[in-house]
A and B are shown apart, each in its own frame.
Chain A
Amino acid sequence: MDRKLSEIQLDALREVGNIGAGNSATALSQMMGKRIDMSLPQVNILSFEDMIKRVGTEEEIVVAVLLKVFGDAPGNILFLMKQDKAQEFAETILGGFSEVTDEIYLSLFQEVGNILGNSYINAISRLTSLSLLTSVPAISIDMLAAVLSSSFMDAQQYSDYVLAIDTNFIEDGKKSGGNFFYIPKPGSLDIILTKLGLN
């Protein structure tokens, strides 16, 4: 990310992120049957090391769901949850099941990532009238640094500083250990900003 964004552009991206995140939080609340909020999205241009530090430590195991975004403003959507939080989360949602196989566990997170990612993308799409589509979700349960760096590389964010719009899920006033990233490919932000009349 070499380009500088003005304060007003950053604000606009935060607002877009906010509407997307609000949609996702509503979807998540409905799934969980309790109130989930999302923190005000941050628009960050950081080094990889700092991006990792925002979530945790390099080798920490996270459940990660990646959706590729195709269409007018391509990029990646990444949903991360720390492993212990993911366990709690699965227990809440799968409360009635006596036996949870790995397959059900993986499929649960894929579906959660799918719903969150699509509510987010739909919000951006409605706001900007850009045509955006997502891939089927792919999942990885692995080291934070490995999934995060691979997701940025895949979105062709090759410079020393990378850009992400990210937000935290908040449950009962506490951070829930879930993070949500929108990682635009180069050029996608310009397209979004142009649509918002801010370029």
Chain B
Amino acid sequence: MDEKDIKVGIGDLNVALPPYRLITLGLGSCVGIALYDSISKVAGLAHIMLPDSSCFKNQKNPMKFADAAIPILIDKMLEKGASRVRLRAKIAGGASMFSFTDKNSILDIGSRNVKSVMSVLSKNNISLIAEDTGGNFGRTMIVEAETGKVYIRTAGKGIKEL
């Protein structure tokens, strides 16, 4: 992390303009959603933990749910001058960190998160242009507001552009 990095915590979101970068650390079953408008150079990043807020009452933090966080992120980006029709999405995460041989034990929250994110994006008419999801490893996601490039860092495999 350097001074141009804005950290996005678990169940949180943020927007940035150049020269800043948004970074979220250690996505496991959680999903990171990066939205970008290449003309206004407004970047947004959300770190969601759960697919759907509708089954929960009394939730104080809507930003941890895919269905609630994405519209909030879009609104925040529009406030900063982004245009809804130009928004493109890249997503990462949704892993199943522990592999169990026994079927009853499989942790499937990651794949449910990914599915929900995709459906919420499509409901909002945002095209998904890149993804790095699933698997059994953690990911750190970095979004560069200047270029809209998204980088994924994984343990032991270094950093790559998504």
Contact = CB atoms under 8 A, between A and B. Distances in A.
Interface of A: 2, 48-49, 58-59, 61, 64, 66, 68, 135-136, 138-151, 153-154, 158-160
A146 B64 CA distance: 15
A80 to B, nearest CB: 12
Contacts of B110: 150
Contacts of A66: 97-98
A149 B99 CA distance: 16
Interface stretch (B14-22, B80-88, B135-143): B135-143
Interface stretch (B24-32, B124-132, B144-152): B24-32
A87 B58 CA distance: 44
Nearest to A68: B105
B57 to A, nearest CB: 10
Interface centre among B49, B56, B58, B61 (most CB of A within 10 A): B49
Contacts of B58: 2
Chain B interface mostly helix, strand, loop or mixed? loop
A138 B100 contact: yes
B49 A145 contact: no
28 contacts: A49-B9, A58-B25, A58-B140, A59-B140, A59-B153, A61-B155, A135-B102, A135-B104, A138-B98, A138-B99, A142-B28, A143-B26, A145-B28, A145-B138, A146-B27, A146-B95, A146-B97, A147-B28, A149-B10, A149-B26, A149-B28, A150-B95, A151-B97, A153-B29, A153-B30, A154-B107, A158-B50, A158-B56
B139 to A, nearest CB: 7
Interface residues of B, number: 38
A149 B29 contact: yes
A153 B104 CA distance: 16
A143 B9 contact: no
Given A143-B26, A145-B27, A146-B138, 17 more contacts: A2-B58, A66-B97, A66-B98, A138-B99, A138-B100, A142-B28, A143-B25, A145-B26, A145-B138, A147-B98, A150-B29, A150-B96, A153-B49, A153-B50, A154-B109, A158-B49, A158-B50
